[in-house]
Homo-oligomer: A and B are copies of this chain.
Amino acid sequence: MTVRAQKVWEEVEIVAGYITYIDLVRPFIGEKKIVSTGMRQEIDRCREVVRLAQEGNSVALVSSGDAGIYGMAGILIECLQEAGCIDIPLEIIPGVTAANAAASQLGAPLMHDFAVISLSDLLTPWELILKRTRLAAEGDFVLAIYNPKSKGRQEQIEEIRKLLLEIRSPETPVGIVREALRGETPQVTISTLEEFTRLPIDMLTTVIIGSSQTKVIGPYMVTPRGYVL
């Protein structure tokens, strides 16, 4: 959490968000009024935040990781526009997104160009996700995979693995991090492209797939920037 995120609570009257994320910040928010909603109710949640702001309240909308990376910032701006109040003051507080947090637990896999891809096909056609993965692999980007699995999507990460094996070595290092820096002890494993889908992967996991340059150095996964020692 950033220093700014830890301090913003002093300036707001209402804290809104998905209940699981509210719980993560509960130690900081004291006795503020809380407006929580369930999962997959992002639009309702933002419309409520906009309504509260239109009434003159100062509202913090909680988003996990970085609100600006697959987070709530975009839909909130769209809802401000919908309500005809795009001029209401808005501060987006950046944070440590899952790719950064996972990388710090693995070593230094993101020292060079990388692509961030979500496997969630709720709002994106699966064919586009596959196309992006293939092109990023052809470009030898390190890949940071968000939402690798959910209850309803178990086979897609396997499809991604097979696609990448057409382009990258089976020995390519793959880092798997669960609950990166959420307060719990993160579960960190370094595997290979050949093997990694045999390990436990779920919604709270971030998968980082190395480029052709990525290697394992001691307990770390590193993509060298190219310095010659």
At the interface, yes or no: A2 with Cβ under 8 Å from chain B?
yes
Could you jot down 26 A-B contacts, CB within 8 Å?
A3-B3, A43-B229, A66-B100, A68-B104, A69-B110, A71-B108, A73-B104, A73-B108, A74-B222, A75-B224, A75-B227, A80-B217, A80-B218, A86-B217, A87-B218, A92-B107, A94-B96, A94-B101, A94-B103, A96-B96, A112-B118, A115-B115, A115-B139, A132-B140, A132-B141, A135-B139
Chain A residues close to B by CB (< 8 Å): 1-3, 6, 42-43, 66-71, 73-82, 86-87, 92-97, 100-101, 103-105, 107-118, 123-124, 128-129, 131-132, 135-136, 138-141, 181, 217-220, 222-227, 229
- Chain B residue numbers with a CB within 8 Å of A227 are 42-43, 75, 78, 123
- Chain B residue numbers with a CB within 8 Å of A217 are 77-78, 80-81, 86
- Chain B residue numbers with a CB within 8 Å of A66 are 96, 100, 104
Asked if B43 contacts A123 (CB within 8 A), the reply is no
Asked if B1 contacts A69 (CB within 8 A), the reply is no
